[in-house]
Structure 1
Amino acid sequence: MTTFLTFTILGLVLGAVYAIAASGLVLTYNTSGIFNFAHGAQAMLGAFLYWQLAYGWGWPVWLALVVVLGVVGPAMGGLLHALIMKGLRDTADVTKIVVTVAVLLGMVYLSQWIWHPEEARIVEMFFGSNAKVEFSGVVIRVHEIICLVVAAAIAIGLRLLFTRSRVGVVMRGAVDDPDLLRLNGHNPERVAALSWMMGSTLAVLAGILITPIGGGALQANALTLLVIDAFAAAMFGRLRSIPRTFAGAIVLGMTATYVMAYFPSAWTWTSNFRISLPMIILFVVLIVLPQERLRGAAIRTRERYRVPTVRRAAVWGVALVAVVYLLKLLMVETSVSTFALGMTFAIIALSLTVLTGYAGELNLAPLSFGAVATIVVFHFGVVGTGLAARLDVWGVLLAVLVTAVVGGLVALPALRLRGLYLALATLAFGVFLSNMVLRDTTEHTVFGVTFSLFPNGSLIIPPLRIGPLDLRDGDTFLMTATVLFALIGVGLIALRNSGYGRRLAAMKDSPAASAMLGQNLVKLKLSVFMISAAIAGLGSVLMSSAIGSVASENFNVMAGLALLMLTVAAGIGYVSGALFGGLMSGVGFVIIVATFNDLAAANPDLAPVYQAIGSLSVVSTALLGIGVGKSPSGTVHDVVESYRSLRDARPVLVGGAVLEAALYGLTLAGIMDNWWFAILTACLVMMLPVFGRMVMARVAPDEGRPAPHRTPPELVGVDEPYTEELRRELDRELGLSGHDRGPTPGGRRPVRSGAEEGNVHVVA
């Protein structure tokens, strides 16, 4: 009985902290409509700052709490809303999710910069671990009592706020109908800012309370993921009900402690299961809870993607292979290997292009599917031993097939989920795989066969060999990865221009309209998930082979979130966006940091400056994702549009090409350093459109003026009549060919719809 009471109280305490964190999440979602994936990172940052004040600088605990909870917490939430979140109106779910993911990563990188991860930092319980009371033979620490009392006070306070106060009613109205709220004299943005301040404070409070309970030193990734476990509690209340959220948190906490208490100690996987339990519960809750009915788009999003023709895509694919070959001639062997690793990440990013860019489905754990492929190819695809070990092509194909099947199995229960719920389901799968599978280093015996999924915590993946093609050579590996990327990219463009691709676009634009017109959304979702998982599996096998020895950290959720964020920032609807996002995620920032570290070693006097710039470049990664709110279509779209304006300034483009060729020749001859070539090339790419517009403005002043205001494409025919010029503009926006279909009765040419011979493209 004593054991039961002890673990029940521990479960109540843990559930109380989960409830505090989840209530802050529910609060911000209810008033802004944005699910804050950075909630755990805010808790982590607040806990580190509390440690710095109370332990690093020796401030009194009460003063540190006042500063962190009374000043830093509200300020953090208020700034997030003012600078980022209020600019996310009229954006798609993927944009809102990626921006908050970018904030999460930025806070994690910032904490690792300020507080070095290798230094241990311990936060003690309030009044010390020896301050405790005894109740029915059960010892309860004062810190745990404080957690319970604070959680109860917050639950009662929030309940009264939302049901008995005018402010609470206004908060609920801020997301339900902000226009009606304005008519009643209230400012929805001010209400949303207040809720973000309160939610941030609750997150920081949860981070401070849970750190001593968990024990051990403060770790940025671990603490962030620990608070993310509270997502399961928030989903109990459907992100609406505070009482149900608290009830879910208590169930979550008590279940975790009962597993620790009553599962047999002989079960080697008990500890991993307990850590994975919140994500398992989250996945189950998402599946069990009733979903909203399919509805048409409530808002018109600002994302716009241009789909090239297959012929143009093939030309650009050949150009990519040629450019990589020319760049290879400038690189040393280590740089070639690094570049090849980046190309494998770009292949993984293509899985996001087809899934999210084309179909609008969300996957927050792309590397987790890659981990499945790597495990399969390690066990069934390696032939030979030692230096003679190679990957067999049939083993790689088996790994890709198994990964596609796993993608389908994960998607199968999640087929009824959409938007945010689907994103949370894939996140739950990724965290579960990291905690339950990738940590499984013990041996198991099944039907007389002894095996270990992840033996010794690392897997040795040798290079692939297909006949005379041996990827042990770095140059061969780089060119093979580039050709594969080009082939898969052209294949995806062909898929997007096919009837199947138009059905995916219709599902993305309006699931309700797509279903009404007879499309089978279940088959579409299942097939696109399997295609995406297969591409991620192939890229991950090549990535593991490029690294040689991979550990569980190579597939963690944070790395997958970074890949998603950078791909969306570049342009999730473009193959070139996958190229940029993969290269930057895989090797881009690693190269930048290594460069500044080398400069610091070579110049000891300026070492702090170079190291600070290197760390700042990593933190600035988050700025790319945050910028998606301002440019939802991505960087690639903006660059293409800027160069599209130079179609009438061909001499400028020719001059830029000649200048780039001259820079390459100087570098190849050894007259110019590779870094200067990279810097000058980047400057040329960014400045050429600016210079071109300046030249055009001098030659034709009218062309240098800003373009007149145009009606948004979705409002053509509503706010403005059809014209021949608008017809061509709509064809360009929709990625349709411009062939004529005969005049209409009024003499005008018709605007092509996307619905042809059963291939539906609904534009929301």
Structure 2
Amino acid sequence: MLTVELALAGLGVGAIAALAAVGMITSYRATGVFNLSFGALAMIVAYLVWQQVRVWGWPLWAAVLLDVGVVAPALGLVLERFVFRGLHREGAGPARMLVASLGVFVLLVGAATLAWGTQARLDPPSIVPAGSVGLPGDTSVAKGTLVELGVVAAVAVLVAVVTRFTRFGVRLRAVVDRRALAELSGVPADRVAATGWAFGSMLAGLTGVLLAPHLRLDPYGLTLLVLETIGVAVVARLASLPVAILAALAIGVGQSELSRLEPDSWELIQALQANLFVVVMLVALLVLPRMVEVGGPDPARAVGARIGTGHGESAPVGWWVPFVAVAAAPLALGAEHLRVAQQVPAMAIVFVSLVMLTGYAGQISLGQAGFAGLGALFAAQLASRDVPALLALFLAAFLVVPVGLLTGWPAIRRRGLTLALTTFAVAAVVSRFVFAQPRFTTGLTLDHPWPFDGERSFYALELLCLVLVLLVVRRLHVSRLGRMLVAVRDHERGAAAAGVDVASAKVFVFAVGAGVAGLGGALLGMGGRAFDAAAFDPVLGLVWFAAVVVFGVDSAAGAVLAAGLVVALDAATTAGMSTIVIGGLAVLLSRMPGGVPATLLRLAAGPAPVPAAPPPPVRLGPLGRTLRERVRAGRAEVGG
């Protein structure tokens, strides 16, 4: 039975989630991009208001009007013009759109960290009145909750009126769904899209200003909270604002009511209460039908479509020689530097699994960090039970395969954004309910396997595993099964019409990809000689996916380069620098078709050769015209 006091407290949590979800859905419907950087935009605006009010002494109303009404829309205009307009014009698929928004997310979080540090600010200004309103029965509800619910309702009504009953709403839907056709109809697509981005960013700024007083203001707290409320948007199928509001309020009340069950004595209930939004996201993605995604089913926008180098260049002869030299170089380093270098082959294996899934099969997976973490956890569990560490390494990879099968089964009827969010939800649930639970991670031992217990011998084992994985991927790519996967990637319905068992192909590639990621995760754990849950955070998995796409989503060599860059930058500078660099490169994806390697190949090859001009038409003289008439007459007689 519901407790009124707890239910009213839950309404406050639900109002926060509803505000974030309404903003995300509205931004998605207005721009056609599921903006993973929505929370980062909210965080930046909240920080600006804090800086102006608490540090510079501005009036609160002036800071809010400036930041929400001017700065936030200006950020949206900048993103539309310099990040997403080029991607829209070239028909980029969901993978590159997600990576571009993730790049913005990383850059904004990095900028906030550099400007304000990681110290939490406990005094963000509030624009809602303090106090509470009394209700019958000696209960009360906070005024802030009522204001936030009113703002949510007002935004929902405004969006409904604009999109359904105005000419601009018709143009906006046309640009988002069919940009090329809208332009042919005379719609100023760029101007309409820019307006949509400005409005979506303004909602993000308003969300940040309203949410900040409820939280500690730091670069990650507010950003990650918005990511967790994706579940509310999923329940609404990214379409219905009333459903999103009701779902957020129901989840907030449910989360508050769970506190009556004395979670301190039951770890599962405690984890469920803290992560109810994540659980709802996964259940909704598995149970509900496909989300209402904007944009038409344009075959040119295949999720994992191969992106050529532009002029048909191929890699130079002997391109693999530098790889071998660089891979062998750490063997000459000291033990401390060699331990850092051991991360590269293990992480490269995880990255190659993403190439298999997204590059070859066209299935967006944002959950590889979960598979890698399970591989490390299974290896630690087996090694702690006296299983030989070398055997535990490969058994752990095989034990992750069934998890890939379970994830791949829902993927049979999913693609694009729905599949991406499903895999992210799986990784988040695994992280919160497995990696974060002491009963699964306490008392584990993990070390280098015998006879590779030395630093150099273990690094040699990692290189051997990486070579084996690359050979498997190469064989998969050139085999009949590989051609089937590419067919599914390029045109799923066409592949099914040609006799390809699409369902089996999807499940197979998910299972194999999970096993490969599990092998890489087990090697990461053995290299660190312990299981570290923070090394497999689901948000970190988003950065891994971005790195693979930036370096060529269909290039195994690019995945190895990406792993080397990530490890080298963090080791040579400060932890997290690789994330900022990857974010910057992701933002530039519209100017780097095919990623960094393809762009470098185009630059090395020089400008494309100008096609030869067609020969000028031949002008016949009197004799030529006479002969032509005689030939035509002869043909006519023969035809008769």
**Normalised by the shorter chain, which TM-score bucket?**
0.7 to 0.9
Please report how far the alpha carbon of residue 180 of structure 1 lies from its aligned counterpart in structure 2 after TM superposition. Answer: 4.2
Please report how far the alpha carbon of residue 183 of structure 1 lies from its aligned counterpart in structure 2 after TM superposition. Answer: 4.7
1:332–1:248 distance in 2 versus 1, CA, 3 Å: same
**Matches of 2:586 and 2:375 in 1, distance apart?**
28
Q: Which residue of 1 aligns with 2:145?
A: 144
Which of 448, 464, 469 is equivalent to 1:463?
448
Which of 315, 320, 324 is equivalent to 2:327?
324
Query: Deviations along 1:292-321, whole A, 9 cap, x unmatched?
Result: 899974325674358xxxxx9998667634
Q: Which residue of 2 aligns with 1:629?
A: 590
Matched, 1:96 2:57: no
What secondary structure, in the 3-state scheme, does the structure 2 residue paired with 1:59 have? coil
Amino acid at match of 1:475: R
Contact 2:41/2:108 (<8 A) preserved? yes
Please report how far the alpha carbon of residue 126 of structure 1 lies from its aligned counterpart in structure 2 after TM superposition. Answer: 4.5
Q: Which residue of 1 aligns with 2:628?
A: none
RMSD (Å) for aligned C-alpha atoms: 2.9
Matched, 1:588 2:588: no
Matched, 1:68 2:67: yes
Which of 526, 531, 537 is equivalent to 1:545?
526
Query: Deviations along 1:323-364, whole A, 9 cap, x unmatched?
Result: 4224533x3332222112122111111110111111011111
Amino acid at match of 1:407: G
Query: Deviations along 1:221-280, whole A, 9 cap, x unmatched?
Result: 232121112322222332233333333333333332233345655322323212322122
Query: Deviations along 1:531-581, whole A, 9 cap, x unmatched?
Result: 111111111111111122343211112221111111110112111111011
Q: How does 1:631-670 map to 2 (within 5 A)?
A: 631-642=592-603, 645=605
What secondary structure, in the 3-state scheme, does the structure 2 residue paired with 1:139 have? strand
Please report how far the alpha carbon of residue 322 of structure 1 lies from its aligned counterpart in structure 2 after TM superposition. Answer: 4.4
What secondary structure, in the 3-state scheme, does the structure 2 residue paired with 1:134 have? strand
Q: Which residue of 2 aligns with 1:708?
A: 610
Query: Deviations along 1:704-743, whole A, 9 cap, x unmatched?
Result: x741259xxxxxxxxxxxxxxxxxxxxxxxxxxxxxxxxx
**Matches of 1:232 and 1:536 in 2, distance apart?**
26
Matched, 1:175 2:176: yes
Please report how far the alpha carbon of residue 287 of structure 1 lies from its aligned counterpart in structure 2 after TM superposition. Answer: 2.5
Amino acid at match of 2:362: G
**Matches of 1:355 and 1:206 in 2, distance apart?**
35
Which of 470, 482, 491 is equivalent to 2:463?
482
What secondary structure, in the 3-state scheme, does the structure 1 residue paired with 2:133 have? strand
**Matches of 1:481 and 1:580 in 2, distance apart?**
16
Q: Which residue of 1 aligns with 2:559?
A: 578
Amino acid at match of 1:628: L
Matched, 1:453 2:440: yes
1:250–1:189 distance in 2 versus 1, CA, 3 Å: farther
What secondary structure, in the 3-state scheme, does the structure 2 residue paired with 1:299 have? helix
Matched, 1:408 2:405: yes
Q: Which residue of 2 aligns with 1:354?
A: 356
**Matches of 1:620 and 1:492 in 2, distance apart?**
27
What secondary structure, in the 3-state scheme, does the structure 1 residue paired with 2:366 have? coil
What secondary structure, in the 3-state scheme, does the structure 2 residue paired with 1:324 have? helix
Please report how far the alpha carbon of residue 29 of structure 1 lies from its aligned counterpart in structure 2 after TM superposition. Answer: 2.3
TM-score, length basis structure 2: 0.87
**Matches of 1:322 and 1:617 in 2, distance apart?**
23
Please report how far the alpha carbon of residue 147 of structure 1 lies from its aligned counterpart in structure 2 after TM superposition. Answer: 0.9
Contact 1:237/1:245 (<8 A) preserved? yes
How many aligned positions are there? 600
Matched, 1:85 2:66: no
Q: How does 1:280-291 map to 2 (within 5 A)?
A: 280-291=279-290
Q: Which residue of 1 aligns with 2:547?
A: 566
Contact 1:125/1:143 (<8 A) preserved? no
What secondary structure, in the 3-state scheme, does the structure 1 residue paired with 2:342 have? helix
**Matches of 2:292 and 2:108 in 1, distance apart?**
36
Q: Which residue of 2 aligns with 1:247?
A: 246
Matched, 1:336 2:317: no
Q: How does 1:147-226 map to 2 (within 5 A)?
A: 147-213=148-214, 215=215, 217-226=216-225
Query: Deviations along 1:55-96, whole A, 9 cap, x unmatched?
Result: 233333222222221122111211111110111121122111
What secondary structure, in the 3-state scheme, does the structure 2 residue paired with 1:381 have? helix
Moved more, 38-47 or 261-270: 261-270
Please report how far the alpha carbon of residue 524 of structure 1 lies from its aligned counterpart in structure 2 after TM superposition. Answer: 0.8
**Matches of 1:170 and 1:495 in 2, distance apart?**
45
What secondary structure, in the 3-state scheme, does the structure 1 residue paired with 2:134 have? strand
1:317–1:259 distance in 2 versus 1, CA, 3 Å: farther
**Matches of 1:615 and 1:361 in 2, distance apart?**
27
Which of 429, 432, 437 is equivalent to 2:429?
432
What secondary structure, in the 3-state scheme, does the structure 1 residue paired with 2:300 have? coil
1:227–1:127 distance in 2 versus 1, CA, 3 Å: closer
Which of 496, 502, 505 is equivalent to 2:483?
502
Please report how far the alpha carbon of residue 46 of structure 1 lies from its aligned counterpart in structure 2 after TM superposition. Answer: 2.0
Contact 1:305/1:573 (<8 A) preserved? no
**Matches of 1:317 and 1:263 in 2, distance apart?**
59
Contact 1:297/1:509 (<8 A) preserved? no
Contact 1:569/1:625 (<8 A) preserved? yes
Please report how far the alpha carbon of residue 135 of structure 1 lies from its aligned counterpart in structure 2 after TM superposition. Answer: 1.4
Please report how far the alpha carbon of residue 426 of structure 1 lies from its aligned counterpart in structure 2 after TM superposition. Answer: 0.8
Contact 1:75/1:197 (<8 A) preserved? yes
What secondary structure, in the 3-state scheme, does the structure 2 residue paired with 1:549 have? coil
1:192–1:253 distance in 2 versus 1, CA, 3 Å: farther
**Matches of 1:211 and 1:119 in 2, distance apart?**
11
**Matches of 2:539 and 2:402 in 1, distance apart?**
24
Unaligned stretches of 5+ in structure 2? Answer: 310-314, 613-640
**Matches of 2:323 and 2:384 in 1, distance apart?**
31
**Matches of 2:128 and 2:155 in 1, distance apart?**
22
Unaligned stretches of 5+ in structure 1? Answer: 307-311, 385-389, 442-451, 595-613, 646-692, 694-704, 711-764
**Matches of 2:259 and 2:292 in 1, distance apart?**
39
Contact 1:34/1:96 (<8 A) preserved? yes
Q: How does 1:19-58 map to 2 (within 5 A)?
A: 19-58=18-57
Contact 1:155/1:246 (<8 A) preserved? no
Percentage of identical aligned residues: 26
Which of 614, 619, 624 is equivalent to 2:580?
619
Which of 499, 502, 505 is equivalent to 1:524?
505
TM-score, length basis structure 1: 0.73
Q: Which residue of 1 aligns with 2:383?
A: 381
1:369–1:615 distance in 2 versus 1, CA, 3 Å: closer
Contact 2:100/2:589 (<8 A) preserved? yes
1:319–1:164 distance in 2 versus 1, CA, 3 Å: closer
Contact 2:112/2:219 (<8 A) preserved? yes
What secondary structure, in the 3-state scheme, does the structure 1 residue paired with 2:3 have? helix
Query: Deviations along 1:733-760, whole A, 9 cap, x unmatched?
Result: xxxxxxxxxxxxxxxxxxxxxxxxxxxx
Amino acid at match of 1:582: A
Query: Deviations along 1:399-456, whole A, 9 cap, x unmatched?
Result: 1111111111122233311111000011111222222222212xxxxxxxxxx10228
Q: Which residue of 2 aligns with 1:270?
A: 269
Moved more, 338-347 or 246-255: 246-255
1:54–1:551 distance in 2 versus 1, CA, 3 Å: farther
**Matches of 1:300 and 1:184 in 2, distance apart?**
21
Q: Which residue of 1 aligns with 2:3?
A: 4
Please report how far the alpha carbon of residue 156 of structure 1 lies from its aligned counterpart in structure 2 after TM superposition. Answer: 1.6
Contact 2:330/2:341 (<8 A) preserved? no
**Matches of 2:15 and 2:119 in 1, distance apart?**
30
Q: Which residue of 2 aligns with 1:728?
A: none
**Matches of 2:510 and 2:132 in 1, distance apart?**
52
Contact 1:296/1:512 (<8 A) preserved? no
Amino acid at match of 1:77: G
Q: Which has the higher contact order (CA 8 A, sep 6+)?
A: 2
